[in-house]
Structure 1
Amino acid sequence: MDENKPPRMYFIGKKEDLVQAKRMNVTLDGRDILIIYHQRTFYALDLQCYHAGSSLEPGDIEEINNKLCIVCPKHKYKITLAEGEGLYKATNPAEKVPTPRWYSKGIKQRVHKVTEVDEDIFVTLSNCPGWIESDYYQTEKGRAELRKAQESEDGEADVNADEDV
């Protein structure tokens, strides 16, 4: 992310089309972004989960600890839609009666600003300074890792298809 670059609003589409689609992914300035419309609000975040790079597009949305979260379909990581915060449930062993609670891992997924202007939807990429874990899958090294994993999965699918014959 170039922190010195002035923010740019990217036209995504007409509000009506995005509301109907509910989710869409786009590439803006070389970055893969997921746009979600949920409960009359638009959200935008990096497409690949910060944990292992799985696409968040098919993830379920749940309310956790009064925050809307997308749940990564591969490993079930919970990420808040508004902040990109990673959440996990655990107990504090120091408590006399350990009670499971939701805790924050901090900001793990880069989120982007969505703006509506005259029924048009725009996204402004985050210029939040510093490294956020989902940034990894926007780098060449991270993209190469994703391609390698996809090729491996495709190879396994081909082998399994042959076994059915």
Structure 2
Amino acid sequence: MEVEVAQASDLRLDGSKVQARVNGRYVSIFNVKGELYCIDAICYHAGGPLTVGDIEDVDGKACVRCPWHNYIVTVQTGEKLYQKLVKTEEGKLVPGGWDSVGQRQRTHRVFERSGAVFVVVDEEGSFESDKYSSDEACGRRLVSSGGSFGNPKPNPFGARGAGGQGRGAFLGMKNLVSRVTSGHLFGADGKMPFKKPQQ
């Protein structure tokens, strides 16, 4: 089911982002050169606040770098990228080209309609980011305590769009959405905590 997470004006600028909680899952929506992308906001590797960083170009791909372990993840496909090491003629190892280890971070469908931004959570298959995607302790590190929580606006046409054959608009009311366009992390700088927080 599609869930409204933001106004289009919140994501109008290139590089802007919105953190949201949809169907219990922490996600981030990015504007990259006018295109919207949505990925799980919590890093698949160790539950870090992956999407607090800015978008950076890595080998022509828009990526976020996790502040905990510097893992680089593409916002379009959720792939983890790494830079190969190559041996020179002198036998030294130097940075080579970029490669992917495959999709680790779940991506979701996002679109704009009538001045609003909607997310459709992808729940098919299994990805490594699933293990942390709804973790409350990880979410507290991602979303500031001042974030507003409320009910999203469900699709008035039901889950299947304007045909009205969906399960009904009111099912979306149980999904909480947190819209945070600015804020801070618990731990302030997003660095990995020394001790696992109490749940």
Q: When the two structures are superposed, what TM-score results if normalisation uses the length of structure 2?
A: 0.62
Question: How many percent identity over aligned positions?
Answer: 29
Q: Is the 8 A contact 1:65 1:102 kept in 2?
A: yes
Q: Deviations over 1:86-145 (max 9, x none)?
A: 00001256x97876111111000001111111221100111332x211111035xxx277
Q: When the two structures are superposed, what TM-score results if normalisation uses the length of structure 1?
A: 0.73
Q: 1:153 to 1:41 in 2, by over 3 A?
A: same
CA RMSD, Structure 1 to Structure 2 (Å): 3.1
Q: Deviations over 1:46-75 (max 9, x none)?
A: 110111111123213211122111111221
Q: Which ranges in structure 1 are unaligned for 5 or more consecutive residues?
A: 1-7, 157-165
Aligned to 1:106: 102
Aligned to 1:160: none
Aligned to 2:24: 30
Aligned to 1:120: 116
Q: Secondary structure at the match of 1:54?
A: coil
- Higher RCO structure (Cα 8 Å, ≥6 apart): 2
Q: Is the 8 A contact 1:79 1:85 kept in 2?
A: yes
- Quick one: distance in 1 between partners of 2:21 and 2:116? 18
Q: Which amino acid aligns with 1:66?
A: G
Q: 1:71 to 1:153 in 2, by over 3 A?
A: closer
Q: Which amino acid aligns with 2:102?
A: G
Higher percent of residues as helix: 1
Q: Secondary structure at the match of 1:105?
A: strand
- Quick one: distance in 2 between partners of 1:71 and 1:61? 8
Aligned residue pair count: 143
Residue 46 of structure 1 pairs with residue 40 of structure 2:
yes
Q: Secondary structure at the match of 1:16?
A: helix
Aligned to 1:18: 11
- Quick one: distance in 2 between partners of 1:69 and 1:15? 22
Q: Secondary structure at the match of 1:112?
A: strand
Q: Secondary structure at the match of 1:138?
A: coil
Report how far residue 154 of structure 1 moved.
Answer: 8.5
